A = this chain, B = another copy of it.
Amino acid sequence: MKQLLDRIRAEGRNLGNGILKVDGFVNHQVDTKLMQACGLELAKRFANCGASKVLTAEISGIAPAVMTALELGLEVVYARKQKPITMPDQVLLTIAPSHTKGRNVELIVSPEYLGAGERVLVIDDFLASGQTILGLARLVKAAGGAVVGVGALIEKTFEGGRDVLSGLGVPIETLVRITNMDAGRIELGS
Chain B CB within 8 A of A110 CB? yes
Chain B CB within 8 A of A2 CB? no
> With A58-B59, A59-B58, A63-B66 in contact, do A86 and B21 touch (Cβ < 8 Å)?
yes
Taken together, the copies of this chain in the complex come to 2
A24 in contact with B112 (CB, 8 Å): yes
> With A24-B113, A59-B62 in contact, do A33 and B73 touch (Cβ < 8 Å)?
yes
B85 in contact with A23 (CB, 8 Å): no
Name the interface size band of chain A.
Answer: 35 or more
Look across to chain B and name the residue whose beta carbon is closest to the beta carbon of A77: B29
Across the A-B interface, the 8 shortest Cβ-Cβ residue pairs? A32-B70, A29-B113, A21-B86, A30-B76, A32-B69, A29-B77, A62-B62, A58-B59
Look across to chain B and name the residue whose beta carbon is closest to the beta carbon of A113: B29
Q: How far is the CA of A30 from the CA of B62 in the complex (A)?
A: 10
Chain B CB within 8 A of A47 CB? no
Q: How far is the CA of A168 from the CA of B110 in the complex (A)?
A: 38
CB-CB < 8 A to A29: which residues of B?
Answer: 75-77, 112-113
Chain B CB within 8 A of A178 CB? no
| Proximity bits, A13-39, B CB within 8 Å = 1, else 0 | 001000101111101111111011000
